[in-house]
Amino acid sequence: MSNSPGLADAPSFSGCFHCGLPVPDGAHYPIQFESETRQACCRGCQAVAQTIIDSGQGAYYTHRTALPATPQQTEAELAQLGLYDLPEIQESFVRVEAENVREAALILENIVCAACIWLNERHIAQLPGVLSVDINYATRRARVRWDNSRIQLSAILKAVSDIGYIAHPFDPGRSDDIHRRERNTAIKRLAIAGLGMMQVMMYALPTYTATDMTDDIRLLMSWASLILTIPVVGYSAWPFFIGAWRDFRRRMLGMDVPVALGIGTAFVASVYSTFSGEGEVYYDSVTMFVFLLLTGRFLEMNARRRASAAVEELVKLIPAATTRLPNWPARDEEQVPVARLAVGDHVLVRPGETLPADGEVVEGDSAVSEAMLTGESLPVSKSVHAKVVGGSLNQASPLVVRVEKLGADTRLASIVRLLDRAQSEKPRIGQLADRAAAWFVGLLLVITFFVGLAWHFIDPSRTLWIVVSILVVTCPCALGLATPAALTTGTGRLTRLGLLTTRGHALETLARATDLVFDKTGTLTHGRLSVRRVLPLGGRSAEDVSKIAAALEAGSEHPIARALREAGSGGMTASDIRNTPGRGVEGTIDGHPYRLGSPRYAAAGVTPPESGGDEHPENGHESWVALAQGSETIAWFALADTPRADAPAALVALQKLGVRLHLLSGDAEPAVKAVAEQLGITDWHAGALPEDKLAYVKTLQQQGRIVAMVGDGINDAPVLAGAQVSIAMGEGADVAQAAADMVMLGSRLATLGEGVELARKTQRIIRQNLGWALGYNLIAIPAAALGYVTPWIAGIGMSASSLLVVLNALRLTDFKSSPSPAPTETPQPRPASLTPNA
Amino acid sequence: MDILILLIPLSLVLVGVIAWVMLWAARSGQFDDLEGPGHSVIMDDDSPPTPDDTPKP
């Protein structure tokens, strides 16, 4: 299996002390180890080795059984790692959990396959003091938790660089840079492979077609092809060899093993043939194969990038710099990096700018778009005292905001953390596919061996090509990609719809959910009071009394006051307003004294009208507010929580999907009944205690139903945990504390139906992908074994099968709910002059 | 056929030059954004739109 050129003799410890590669002549990079001087091959190795020894981990060198890759970080970069331990630097990306427990997100460079993830996870997890580590392939981000009293972040970063990868604490600017560099390298490899392929084909074609070619010309052509193939194999195909070698060293079977074996075998055989002048040369197949594979990988890389864009977009919402008003309300401005802001600072956010942190508006009146955070497309109006969320976009006029939460404490940061957690927790189906892929490769190698043996007896001249074809045509890549590709795109799309997946299994379970249980009346209602009925007395119009009430309540932030203000807008102003907390308010309008408040305060001795009569739905939670002019009661206002306007449509959509709806509530029966009947929910239970709710869920589960629970996520943790999948309404609650598997970011109930639909579609796509990958291999392997597939056809087949899987998953990106069209996203801006012709 | 002895090495040199150009292009960021420049050419608005420029049926 050690066909990878240049690496065959690596496990000997004769070369560079650190990485084992030969030490170049004249290089002098000494390392002191156990009172001996050893030589390293380069400055990078020297720095890394010295760091490890100096930090007391020199035993690594005596105990290691395999050699690391040559480190690529420079000395200066390594020295900078120490900076990451400073609390002020850590603030933006490290979350403090308990006294010493820290959690951070890291970006990993050089990750090429699932095996790299595995290697890094293992390596980091075994460091003393590291509590847990999860790595996400799609975003190449790791989530590390560690005990700060036992290990420092810089030590973890160094440990990663020890094994030839590079870890950066996450910082949006870096991610772009990494992506750019990886993409650039990929393009260079692709370009070399493409040029090599074209030119080698140019030499190969005449040798296939010409009849009168002399041997010396033929030889010249093979030599020219060889010269062109060397960079293709040595540079363009290098990642495959590295990947295979890594797998081999870790005694794992990854997807690169058969590919590297295929390329290596074909190339070595061709070189042998060129030198000896016997047999065939297959440079054209080798170069074409490398080119096709690289094309596949390149497209896959771009697709992955696109799929993880949702998360990246969230992170990038926070701007890098902002305008601080150090002496607010004075207007002197200064530009500061967001990292240098402190709680209590005042920042000026101009229209078109993004809010740098969570805070409260202290000056200005504007509309703010929270679309990226909540999926809510309409801007929300914000005035003084309103809370604003970092990452939302100021649209109308300047706002001065007092910073309340920064960096890792912000709502945005907690959302991103939840998302990362969800994507790094591999769902069961994903783990299964990983294991299956490893077995598959093992089995494949065995089959290849026996097929090769058989052909050796049948027709020795074809053995090599059939072996290469089998190695190449099979595609564990498609198998390994089938699930993660679909899950990543599905989760990304779901996030944009406003449903945040915080645990890996959630999407899978939601797809199978048969019952949706609403844990609270509050999940279906506005959760705040509004005026349900106005009963004017003494011949006054409802409009007039509402206006009077609104004027009296103009200055109050009480929920009742807000409801009354919304009911009767503008037109009047009250003077001499006096507020009696807990009872009501009095004031004067046009010379008349008014009192507004509880019946006892405003309408002493008059009993409120008994709940509304038959023409109004009964609601036990109505509260009555009286309005009196002098001593005469002139109106009654009935206030109650009302179902959300979008609730009926959303529930109908859910029922159409075949989901049974239940409403469990701790509220009194009339209130629950009213809501349930208005919304057409037949299974409802009022006055339910948390135990009752849990018992209800358990009963449903015993009947074989799969229960999705919708609650507010905080105080009903046991019930939420009891359901197979739980969805928390994120509005108002701190999403970071949510015990739920999913968090609804906006207040659009329609999101639920879309979520279920999307989850089902994701599930369907995973099945299609797995089916396709398996079916493809079942056909391709026998065909190759019987000699019907040439290596270059095999290359196309393999790339195409991976690509198909990824493209199939990408269909989820454009998911639109079928019954009610989701708000259309603005398409790419197009020049007007193009549209008439289009 | 003898001309091939000259042409084949020449083609190798040519491929080398093209490869060098490609690598240079990648290094200097020519491939960084494959969509943006395409749009920016069309959306260039340094000449004000003229009213009679609308397409006629």
How far apart are the CA of B6 and the nearest CA of chain A, in angstroms? Answer: 11
For residue B31, the chain A residue with the least C-alpha distance is: A184
**If you average pLDDT over residues A46-63, what whole number do you get?**
58
pLDDT value for A110: 62
Q: Around A548, how many Cα atoms within 13 Å sit in the side-chain half-sphere?
A: 30
From A84-93, A332-341, A744-753, the region with the lowest mean pLDDT:
A84-93
| Contacts A183 to B, Cβ<8 Å | 31-32
B12/A191 Cβ within 8 A: no
Asked if B32's CB is within 8 angstroms of A184's CB, the reply is yes
Give the integer Cα–Cα distance in Å for A305 and A183: 10
Determine the 3-state secondary structure of A733 from DSSP: coil
Please, which pLDDT band fits residue A231 given cuts at 50, 70 and 90? Answer: very high
Residue A820: strand, helix, or coil:
coil
First to last CA, chain B: 60
pLDDT at A533: 77
Contact residues on chain A for B54, CB-CB shorter than 8 A:
836
A54 is catalytic: no
B17–A contact, CB cutoff 8 A: no
Is pLDDT at A65 greater than 70 in this prediction?
A: no
Over residues A521-550, the pLDDT tens digits come to 667 776 667 777 788 887 778 888 888 888
- Residue from the list A192, A213, A224 with its beta carbon closest to the beta carbon of B19: A192
Q: What angle do CA A771, A776, A782 make, to 5 degrees?
A: 135
* B32 in contact with chain A, both atoms CB, cutoff 8 A: yes
Q: For chain A, say whether B22 makes contact (Cβ under 8 Å).
A: yes
Q: Which residue has the higher pLDDT, A422 or A625?
A: A625
Q: Which residues of A touch B (CB under 8 A)?
A: 180, 183-184, 187-188, 191-192, 195-196, 199, 202-203, 213-214, 217, 220-221, 224, 227-228, 231, 828-829, 831, 833-834, 836-837
Searching chain B, which residue's CA lies closest to the CA of residue A196?
Answer: B15
Does the pTM surpass 0.95? The reply is no
A574, A550 in Cβ contact below 8 A?
A: no
The pair of structure tokens assigned to A739 is 């015990």
Chain B environment of A187 (Cβ under 8 Å):
26, 31
Share above pLDDT 70 across residues of chain A, in percent, rounded to a whole number: 67
**Catalytic one among A134, A284, A345, A519?**
A519
Cα A221 to Cα A210: distance, rounded to the nearest angstrom: 13
Residue-level pLDDT at A45:
67
The pLDDT, as a whole number, for residue A117 is: 67
Chain A residues touching residue B39 (CB < 8 angstroms) = 828-829
Closest CA to A191 of B12, B8, B13, B16: B16
Residue A8 pLDDT greater than 50, yes or no: no
- Which of A268, A257, A258, A240 shows the shortest CA–CA distance to A451? A258
Residue B57 reports pLDDT greater than 80: no
Are A822 and A813 contacting, i.e. CB atoms less than 8 angstroms apart? no
Q: CA-nearest residue of chain B to A176?
A: B32
Kindly state the average pLDDT of the residues A402-410. Answer: 81
Q: Does the pLDDT value for residue A147 go beyond 50?
A: yes
Q: Is the pLDDT of residue B19 over 60?
A: yes
> Looking at residues A218-228, what average pLDDT do you find?
89
Structure tokens at A115: 């095996």
> Measured between alpha carbons, how far is A615 from A631 in angstroms, rounded to an integer?
30
Give the pLDDT confidence score for residue A235 in this predicted structure: 93
Q: What is the mean pLDDT of residues A67-71?
A: 53
d(CA A772, CA A780): 12
Query: So what's the pLDDT on residue A85?
Result: 73
DSSP state at residue A351: T
Round the average pLDDT of chain A to a whole number and report it: 74
pLDDT at A195 over 90: yes
Q: Closest Cα of chain B to A192: distance in Å? A: 6
Residue A419 confidence (pLDDT): 62
Which positions in chain A touch B48 (Cβ < 8 Å)?
A: none
pLDDT of residue A12: 40
Does the pLDDT value for residue A838 go beyond 50? no
Quote the pLDDT of residue A820: 40
pLDDT of residue A795: 66
For position A97, what pLDDT does the model report? 74
Cβ of A203 within 8 Å of Cβ of B8? The answer is yes
Considering only the beta carbons, identify the residue of B8, B31, B39 that sits closest to A224: B8
Q: Greater confidence, A102 or A232? A: A232
Residue B20 has pLDDT above 90, yes or no: yes
Facing residue for B18 by CB, picked from A195, A220, A833: A195
What is the bridge-based pairing of β-strands A525-536 and A632-643? antiparallel
pLDDT in tens, A444-484: 888 888 988 998 898 887 787 788 777 767 655 666 667 76
**Cβ–Cβ contacts within 10 Å for residue A121, how many?**
17
- Return the percentage of chain A with pLDDT > 90, whole number: 4
pLDDT winner (highest mean) among A315-329, A375-389, A753-767: A753-767
Inter-residue contact A191 to B22 (CB < 8 Å): yes
Position A544 scores a pLDDT of 82
pLDDT of residue A247: 77
The Cα B51–Cα B53 span in angstroms is 5
Q: What is the pLDDT of residue B49?
A: 42
